[in-house]
Amino acid sequence: MVPTNYYLILSAILFGLGIVAFVFKRNIIAIFMAIELMLNAVNLAFVAFSQSLGKVDGEVFVLFVIVVAAAEAAVGLGIIIQTARTRRSLNVERADLLKL
- Shortest spacing between CB 15 and other proteins, in angstroms: 7
Using alpha carbons only, give the angle 20, 23, 29 rounded to the nearest 5 degrees. 100
Q: Does 36 bind other proteins (CB under 8 A)?
A: yes
Binding other proteins by CB under 8 A: which of 12, 87, 95, 100? Answer: 12
Contacts of 41 (CB under 8 A, 6+ apart): 11, 12, 14, 15, 18
Radius of gyration of the chain (CA): 17
Q: Does 81 bind other proteins (CB under 8 A)?
A: yes
Residues between 37 and 76 that touch other proteins (CB under 8 A): 37, 40, 43-44, 47-54, 56-57, 59-60, 62-64, 66-75
